[in-house]
Amino acid sequence: MSRVSRAGAKADGHLGPKSTLVEHSMRLACAMAAVALAFVALCVAVPAQAHAQSARVTVKADRTAIDVSGEVLVTVRMEGKFSNHQTPNLDDFEVLGQQRTQMFDGRGSSVVLQLTLRPKRAGTLTIGPAKLFQGGRLVAKSDPVAIKATKPRPPEPVSAAEARQRFQQPKGNLSLHASVKRDSYYIGEAFPIVWQLVAKPKVRITSLEMADRPRLDGLLVEDIRAPTAQFDVQQRRLGRKNYNVVTVAEMLATPLEVGPVLIDMSSARVGVADSQRRSFLQSSRRTAVKSQPFMITIKPLPTEGKPEGFSNSNIGVFSIATALKDEHGQQPQELRTGQRMILTLDVRGRGNLLGIKAPKLASDDNFDVQELPGIDKDKVVKDSRGVTGLRTFQYILTAVTPGTHEVPTVRFDYFNPERGRYEQRVQKGPTVKVTGNAISGDKSSAELTGEDVGPIITGVTLDSGSSSTLPRSWWYWLALGVPALLFVLVEVRHRLQSRDANDPLRRRSRSAFPNAKKRLKAAERAQQDGLVKDFYGQIGRTLTGYLEERANIPATGMTHDQVRAACSEAGYPAALVDAVVVEMENCDFARFAPSGSSGDKLRATLERTDELLKKLDAVTPKRRP
């Protein structure tokens, strides 16, 4: 009976003591699991919230080893919650440019400051830590960054042939090459020197400027393509690969002395961006490249085969052509004695066109010959080929003897530097028939000048005569004074150049205003193109660059208060200094403002800056040591 009752109880769902214990255990396990899940959720949520509110700052450099002429791009990234910040200490560097960008993501905002720096000296230089503050309390600090700046040893010069070979087989992603077409030139022979930048296709060039001009002692140099911010990229096949080639500068050099001449090293600053990367943080990276110095030989003109009376400036490859015209513009077949003709001689070719002397006409008693000076029919071009074009010379020919005569022959002697020998061009004149009476030597001069000399006096008498009116004429004193004035000007210029060569700081100060005007022109072009940020960047560089060159004030790396103090110490008036600082602050604000500026506002900024430059240049500052 009892067994049946217990079985019935189980069948009816009634639990015994053991089942009750199991049920309590399950409830306890579920409660503990819920507590554990809540704890995990709390642990995840609290760090996420703390991370969203915590401040963090990092300073990174794109390289840690450069030479003293190179540049390093430093990125300062500030994230989280902060009310103020302190940029890194940059006493060992010159700040060439800066860019500030604010970005937003799901966790909040971050500020990125990019600085382009150049070392002031060689050694291990330190970029100090950046700091973030919240309510006056330091909340984040970055680690300092060490940059090793080295002063590279100047490379040994190579031959001109090897310099050309290096251009044809470039190495690395980016290289600068200077080259000439031949290994040697003759004294007085003008030749071009070309500087070209070679880059692999994956390297995108964003900016380009010559950092310094090379030393070219023993050469008279003229820019035929001055370095400019505008550049044209051309694709060329060098060796077995394709490259992008940019002509940086071209100069026309004329040797002044015989012997070896060094085409010294030059450098360029290049802004590059990898075309495979689209991040704007990479677009402003700049680097310095240097050309390989090389030697050329300047040879004297040979004495063997040198024509008598040869002019040493007649160097090149030339051809000549002549044309004879009468007063009606026609080639004469028949003319009378005393009638004038114009003989035009064209010298075409490549070489020292501007220095060649007028060819001589063969002596002929049948014609009186006078050279016409100062005609303006020359067409001379200076480019990468050298000096090419046309020089025109004209002569007045007057027939003085009747008969059938051949117009005087033109002979032009020159030295061909490509063949290394003297050559001669000869152009025979046409034959003309001359009628009329012979003109004597005395009468010829009268008729050629159109003057009536009156009767010929056969006797000679002595007379005290009257004093000459020559000293009382203005052109007489002008003829005496101009050479003396030219001598004084040349001497003054020479002394100024010598003083500038001995004092580079003075030379830099003298060029401050012209350089500032050039930067202002660049700002005007940016304004015309609608590039607002570039415009204000150029305005800022105009003011800071002027102060650096004129008064040796490193304004680029200074705060506005430091600029104000340095300018006041240099002797600039307080009101003028305040106006300069206000303009700098306006530039900083406008460069980082989200909206653009109107054309009227940009023009007003240009006018104010131009006026500030004039007022600054009217002050002679005390230069900082």
Encode pLDDT of 573-585 as tens digits: 888 888 888 888 8
If one compares 535 and 480, the residue with the highest pLDDT of the two is 535
User: Which of 29-43, 49-63, 394-408, 536-550 ranks highest by mean pLDDT?
Assistant: 394-408
3-state secondary structure of 140: strand
Other beta carbons within 10 Å of 511: 14
If one compares 592 and 110, the residue with the highest pLDDT of the two is 110
pLDDT digits (tens, 9 = 90+) for 474-529: 676 777 777 878 877 877 776 766 665 555 556 667 788 888 888 888 888 888 87
If one compares 270 and 589, the residue with the highest pLDDT of the two is 270
Query: What type of residue sits at position 506?
Result: R
Position 592 scores a pLDDT of 53
Residue 407 belongs to some domain of the structure: yes
Position 301 scores a pLDDT of 94
Do residues 436 and 337 make contact, with C-beta atoms less than 8 angstroms apart?
A: yes
Position 53 scores a pLDDT of 54
Say if strands 267-274 and 285-290 run parallel, antiparallel, or are unpaired: antiparallel
Position 2 scores a pLDDT of 40
> What is the span of the domain harbouring residue 89?
57-150
Do residues 110 and 77 make contact, with C-beta atoms less than 8 angstroms apart?
A: yes
Confidence of residue 597 (pLDDT cuts 50, 70, 90): low
Rounded Cα distance, 248 and 233, in Å = 10
- Provide DSSP, 75-111: EEEEESS-SEEEPPP-TTEEEEEEEEEEEEETTEEEE
Residue 528 belongs to some domain of the structure: yes
User: The domain that contains 391 carries what CATH number?
Assistant: 2.60.40
Structurally, the chain folds into a number of domains equal to 4
Q: H-helix or E-strand containing 141?
A: strand 137-141
What does the angle CA 43 – CA 46 – CA 48 come to, to the nearest 5 degrees? 105
User: The domain that contains 63 carries what CATH number?
Assistant: 2.60.120.570
Burial 524-537 (b: 16+ CB within 10 A, else e): bebbeeeebebbbb
Q: Decide if pLDDT at 181 tops 90.
A: yes
Confidence of residue 346 (pLDDT cuts 50, 70, 90): very high
Residue 123 belongs to some domain of the structure: yes
Rounded Cα distance, 298 and 217, in Å = 12
Using alpha carbons, select from 338, 397, 391, 346 the residue that is nearest to residue 368. 397
Looking at the structure, tell me whether residues 445 and 522 fall in a common domain: no
Residue 291 belongs to some domain of the structure: yes
Looking at the structure, tell me whether residues 333 and 410 fall in a common domain: yes
Kindly give, in sequence order, each residue whose CB lies less than 8 Å from that of residue 536, ignoring residues fewer than 6 positions away.
Answer: 586, 587, 590, 591, 605
Q: Of the given ranges (309-313, 354-358, 451-455, 500-504), which has the lowest mean pLDDT?
A: 451-455
Say if strands 386-399 and 340-351 run parallel, antiparallel, or are unpaired: antiparallel
Q: What percent of the chain has pLDDT over 90?
A: 26
Looking at the structure, tell me whether residues 266 and 344 fall in a common domain: no
Looking at the structure, tell me whether residues 168 and 256 fall in a common domain: yes
Span 264-274, average pLDDT: 82
Position 180 scores a pLDDT of 94
Residue 472 belongs to some domain of the structure: no
Position 190 scores a pLDDT of 92
Query: What type of residue sits at position 567?
Result: C
Position 473 scores a pLDDT of 67
Q: Decide if pLDDT at 18 tops 60.
A: no
If one compares 511 and 256, the residue with the highest pLDDT of the two is 256
Q: Decide if pLDDT at 319 tops 90.
A: yes
Query: What type of residue sits at position 596?
Result: G
Looking at the structure, tell me whether residues 136 and 207 fall in a common domain: no
Confidence of residue 26 (pLDDT cuts 50, 70, 90): low
Using alpha carbons, select from 256, 254, 252 the residue that is nearest to residue 194. 252
Looking at the structure, tell me whether residues 164 and 295 fall in a common domain: yes
Looking at the structure, tell me whether residues 246 and 343 fall in a common domain: no
Q: H-helix or E-strand containing 579?
A: helix 574-592
Indicate the average pLDDT of the chain. Answer: 79
Confidence of residue 471 (pLDDT cuts 50, 70, 90): low
Q: Of the given ranges (460-464, 531-535, 583-587), which has the lowest mean pLDDT?
A: 460-464
Residue 479 belongs to some domain of the structure: no
Q: Decide if pLDDT at 269 tops 90.
A: no
Do residues 427 and 392 make contact, with C-beta atoms less than 8 angstroms apart?
A: no
User: Which of 93-107, 133-147, 266-280, 524-538 ranks highest by mean pLDDT?
Assistant: 133-147
Using alpha carbons, select from 529, 533, 550 the residue that is nearest to residue 612. 550
Looking at the structure, tell me whether residues 140 and 113 fall in a common domain: yes
Do residues 336 and 398 make contact, with C-beta atoms less than 8 angstroms apart?
A: no
Helices H / strands E in the chain, number of each = 11, 33
Kindly give, in sequence order, each residue whose CB lies less than 8 Å from that of residue 245, ignoring residues fewer than 6 positions away.
Answer: 196, 197, 198, 199, 233, 234, 235, 236, 238
Other beta carbons within 10 Å of 372: 13
Do residues 517 and 614 make contact, with C-beta atoms less than 8 angstroms apart?
A: no
Looking at the structure, tell me whether residues 260 and 333 fall in a common domain: no
Span 141-161, average pLDDT: 89
Rounded Cα distance, 231 and 30, in Å = 75
Confidence of residue 228 (pLDDT cuts 50, 70, 90): low
Partnered with residue 361 across adjacent β-strands are 410
Q: Decide if pLDDT at 425 tops 90.
A: yes
Residue 263 belongs to some domain of the structure: yes
Using alpha carbons, select from 412, 406, 392 the residue that is nearest to residue 344. 392
pLDDT digits (tens, 9 = 90+) for 70-96: 788 899 988 888 888 888 888 889 887
Q: Of the given ranges (94-98, 248-252, 289-293, 514-518), which has the lowest mean pLDDT?
A: 94-98
Span 353-378, average pLDDT: 84
Confidence of residue 444 (pLDDT cuts 50, 70, 90): very low
Looking at the structure, tell me whether residues 442 and 334 fall in a common domain: yes
- C-alpha distances (whole Å) from 285 to each of 88, 93, 275 are 19, 16, 13
**Domain end call among 150, 184, 218:** 150
Looking at the structure, tell me whether residues 371 and 402 fall in a common domain: yes
Looking at the structure, tell me whether residues 67 and 120 fall in a common domain: yes
User: 295: burial class by Cβ within 10 Å (0-12, 13-18, 19+)?
Assistant: middle
Position 501 scores a pLDDT of 55
Position 306 scores a pLDDT of 92
- C-alpha distances (whole Å) from 426 to each of 394, 412, 423, 431 are 16, 6, 10, 16
Say if strands 65-67 and 145-150 run parallel, antiparallel, or are unpaired: parallel
Position 129 scores a pLDDT of 92
**Domain end call among 268, 299, 330:** 299
3-state secondary structure of 549: helix
Using alpha carbons, select from 518, 538, 555, 545 the residue that is nearest to residue 591. 538
Do residues 213 and 193 make contact, with C-beta atoms less than 8 angstroms apart?
A: no
Say if strands 334-336 and 431-435 run parallel, antiparallel, or are unpaired: parallel
User: The domain that contains 509 carries what CATH number?
Assistant: 1.20.120
Do residues 477 and 469 make contact, with C-beta atoms less than 8 angstroms apart?
A: no
Residue 213 belongs to some domain of the structure: yes
Instruction: Match 């003897």 to its residue by tokens.
Output: 401
